[in-house]
């Protein structure tokens, strides 16, 4: 009797755990004001229960240590308003010292369950909220971003073609030697060489203009040194 009771308890805990992992923290909203960048009607606006999402993500295994194995399932919406499940792992892009200094900045990677060809990369931070990008062989690339830089509760889910094209970019740098030097070898390269399935790590120092930093640094309480 005790053995059967124990089995039932284990099954109940497993089922409850599965439901908890599939909890949807996104809520469809009818907010009318969205980013003016959109010229398409193919987008959706959702509210996000950030505290619940962060609680789930706290159990995400480290991608390198877990070797791609995870039981954490998180739900995300697509531009058609359909919710899709992903197996998620933490995929930090910060140096370990920076990650320890700024524990509120996290990045993750996920593999699609409902759409096995889909992969998601997203970040969560106290300053900028949630930002995500999804690539799939079955649907257009799409993004999930806050409706405004100050609103971390409402998010717009939109496909790439929904963005307005800005003014055409013209590179005025003259480089005749470069174009001639690599013309022959460029033709021999194939797309297969762009993905050799090897993970590489790089130390990156990113610079930008003061105007760009003022818009996107997302840390109003940071020091002048941090903002730079």
For residue 112, what is the enclosing H or E element?
A: strand 106-112
Q: Please tell me the predicted confidence (pLDDT) of residue 16.
A: 46
Q: Tell me the mean pLDDT in the region 146-171.
A: 78
Most confident of 61-70, 81-90, 159-168, 215-224: 81-90
Q: Strand pairing of 129-135 and 119-125? A: antiparallel
Distance (Å, whole) CA 87 – CA 141 = 18
pLDDT value at position 223? Answer: 45
Q: How confident is the model at residue 15 (pLDDT cuts 50, 70, 90)?
A: very low
**0.75 exceeded by pTM:** no
Predicted confidence band at 200 (pLDDT cuts at 50, 70, 90)?
A: confident
* Region at 67 (left for phi over 0; alpha for psi -120 to 50; beta for the rest): left
Q: Where are the domains of the chain?
A: 20-164
Token pair recorded at residue 219: 């840390």
Q: What is the pLDDT of residues 83-98, one digit of tens each?
A: 999 999 999 988 888 8
Q: Which two tokens stand for residue 7?
A: 């089995």
Query: Could you tell me which of 157, 169, 11, 187 has the C-alpha nearest to residue 83?
Result: 157
Mean pLDDT (the chain) is 77
Measured in whole angstroms, the distance separating CA 12 from the mean position of its chain's CA atoms is: 32
The more confident residue out of 26 and 99 is 26
pLDDT of residue 13: 43
For the segment 76-134, what is each residue's pLDDT rounded down to a tens digit?
A: 999 999 999 999 999 998 888 888 999 999 999 999 999 999 999 999 998 899 999 99
């Amino acid at each position: 009797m005790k053995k059967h009771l124990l089995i039932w308890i284990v099954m109940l805990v497993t089922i409850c755990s599965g439901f908890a992992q599939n909890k949807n923290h996104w809520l469809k909203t009818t907010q009318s004001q969205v980013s003016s960048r959109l010229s398409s009607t193919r987008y959706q606006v959702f509210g996000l229960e950030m505290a619940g999402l962060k609680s789930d993500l706290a159990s995400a295994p480290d991608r390198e240590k877990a070797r791609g194995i995870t039981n954490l399932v998180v739900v995300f919406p697509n531009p058609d308003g359909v919710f899709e499940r992903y197996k998620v792992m933490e995929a930090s892009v910060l140096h370990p010292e920076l990650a320890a200094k700024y524990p509120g900045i996290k990045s993750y990677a996920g593999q699609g369950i409902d759409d096995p060809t889909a992969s998601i990369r997203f970040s969560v931070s106290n300053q900028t909220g949630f930002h995500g990008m999804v690539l799939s062989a079955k649907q257009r690339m799409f993004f999930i971003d806050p409706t405004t830089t100050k609103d971390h509760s409402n998010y717009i889910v939109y496909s790439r073609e929904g963005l307005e094209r800005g003014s055409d970019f013209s590179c005025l740098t003259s480089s005749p030697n470069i174009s001639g030097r690599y013309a022959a070898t460029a033709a021999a390269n194939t797309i297969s060489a762009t993905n050799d399935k090897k993970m590489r790590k790089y130390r990156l120092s990113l610079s930008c203009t003061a105007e760009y930093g003022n818009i996107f640094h997302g840390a109003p309480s940071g020091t002048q040194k941090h903002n730079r």
